[in-house]
Copies of this chain bind each other. A is one copy, B any other.
Amino acid sequence: MGRRGEHSKLEIECMALEAAEAIIENEGYDALSARKVASAIGYTVGSLYFVFRNLDELVQRINGRTLDQLYASLIEALSDCRLPQQCIYALGSAYLGFSARHPHRWRMIYEQQPRKDNLTLEIYKEKLDRLYELMEIQLKALADVPEEEIIVSSRALWCGIQGIASMTMGRNPDSEDERWALKLSRHLIGHYLSGLGTTEFSGVVKQPIGHVIDYPK
C-alpha cells in the first residue's frame, strides 16, 4: 500500500475520468460506481475521494468534456456547408449524430438535476452558450433581425432538435432511430425556416446564395 508518486494527482484524475467515461459509454450511467472506476485504474475507492469531492463532481467533469466534444463535432460539421440554411441543417444532423453515437453520455448532460450550490454550473452554462452561438451565427447570416429575436430563434431551434433527440433515441433498432430523427429534424427546421420568411417574422430575409460565414476559431 501507498505506492507513493507512481502517478501524479492530475494523472489519476485523468485516468479516472477516462475509465468512468468508458464505463458510461459501454454500460450506461447506472453502471457507474466509485468502486468500479477505482478498480479500473488500479486503485481503491478512497483514492478517488482524494481527487474528486464526490461522484457528482466526477460526473460534472465528464459532462464538461462531453460538451466540448459535442462542440467540436458541430464545428466540424460546419466545414461541409456554405449557405446558412445548409449549415443549420448540418448543425441539427451533427447534434443528432452525436447523441446517437454517445447516447449514455449525451443523456447524462441533460438529465442531471440542477444543483444550485455548484460553481461548476457557471462553466456549464458557458459551454451551452457556445453551442447556442453557433446557431445564432447562422441565423444572423440568414436574416436582418434584432438581437433579441436571434436569441429566441436560436433557442427555439436548438430546443426543437434536442426534443427530437430525446424522444427518438433508443426506441427502435439503432440506425432506424437515427434516420427517423433526421427526418423529423429536416422537417422541423425546414418548415420553421420557411416560416421565418413570412409576416410573423419581423426582419428581412437576406439573399443567402453564396453567402459564406466565418466560424469562431
Q: Residues of A at under 8 Å CB distance from B?
A: 28, 30, 107, 110-111, 113-114, 152-153, 155-164, 166-168, 170-171, 183-184, 187-188, 190-201
Contacts and interface: CB of A to CB of B under 8 A. Distances in A.
Copies of this chain present in the complex amount to 2
- Interface residues of A: mostly helix, strand, loop or mixed? helix
Contact of A200 (B30, B114, B155, B194): B194
Contacts of A156: 160, 164, 184, 187-188, 191
A167 B198 contact: no
A198 B28 CA distance: 43
Contacts of A107: 111
A183 B159 CA distance: 12
Contacts of A114: 170-171
Contacts of A183: 152
